[in-house]
Amino acid sequence: MQTTRVLVVDDHPFGLSTLAGALAGRGLDVHAAATARDAHAIALEFRPAVAVVDLDLGPGPTGIDLARALRKAFPAIGICILTSYRDPRLAGGAAPELPPGSLYVCKADVSDVPQLVQSIGLVARAPLAHRTLSTMTTGPTASLTDVQVEVLLAVGAGITTAEIAQQRGVSASAVEQTISRICERLEIPRNSSLNQRVQLVQALNRLRGQVAAG
């Protein structure tokens, strides 16, 4: 593993420098990039064996867009999507198609750096191995349909029920029914003293790993 070339991509400067430094401390040859464009340019010169890519890279291409571009440029590159999102649909609303052999890792499931190094070693040794992506949809959102995820994201964005109904070409009551089903599946109880939409936004933030420190 000491000679493995690893490209780390994350749009958060602190997270990027911390992760890159931790992997370099384990003997890996690490290059870092904060955007998909920079990552692609670095990859053309660095020719990494593995790319560790955050799912959400801010405005522009997503981590999955970048993963596809890297696999097209380097057919044997190992891909590790490292993200705080339990469900990748929370980044866009539809189940994404990852390059074959990609490993989807939730940051909350990584207990230490050696565990991540082990994952990197796995995709480095067998970048095109058949891997189940069932872990991409584990947790509370696993039972949500793509439409329900899209409505959840719309609520999280502050879009009103009437606006969601207009966008989807359905009635407002149909949207309210969908929201109720989402609440049931996320186990959000009905409580007259709590705003249901506020609870949904809080749940969405938790599922994205964006819980504010208390």
pLDDT, tens digit, 9 for 90 and up, residues 2-42: 479 999 999 999 999 999 999 999 999 999 999 999 999 99
For residue 71, give every residue at least 6 positions away whose Cβ sits within 8 Å of its Cβ, in sequence order, or none: 77, 79, 99
- The mean pLDDT of the chain is 87
Average pLDDT over residues 127-146: 74
Hey, how many other C-beta atoms are within 10 angstroms of the C-beta on 134? Answer: 9
pLDDT band at 214 (very low <50, low <70, confident <90, very high): very low
Residue 107: the pLDDT is 87
Q: Which two tokens stand for residue 203?
A: 């749940």
Residue 79: the pLDDT is 96
Report which of 198, 201, 207, 180 is spatially closest to residue 89, judged by C-alpha positions.
Answer: 207
Q: How many Å apart are CA 210 and CA 207, to the nearest integer?
A: 7
Q: CA torsion 92→166→155→9, rounded to 10°?
A: 20
Which domains does the chain carry? 5-137 (3.40.50.2300), 140-207 (1.10.10.10)
Average pLDDT over residues 168-175: 94
Buried b / exposed e over 89-118, threshold 16 CB at 10 Å, is bbbebeebebbebbbbbbeeeeeeeeebbe
Is the distance from CB of 53 to CB of 79 less than 8 angstroms? yes
Longest pairwise C-alpha distance within the chain = 59
Cα separations in angstroms, 149 against 68, 176, 183, 189, 209: 23, 14, 11, 18, 16
User: At CA 106, angle to CA 104 and CA 110, rounded to 5?
Assistant: 115
For residue 95, give every residue at least 6 positions away whose Cβ sits within 8 Å of its Cβ, in sequence order, or none: 88, 89, 136, 137, 146
Q: Would the pLDDT of 138 be above 70?
A: no
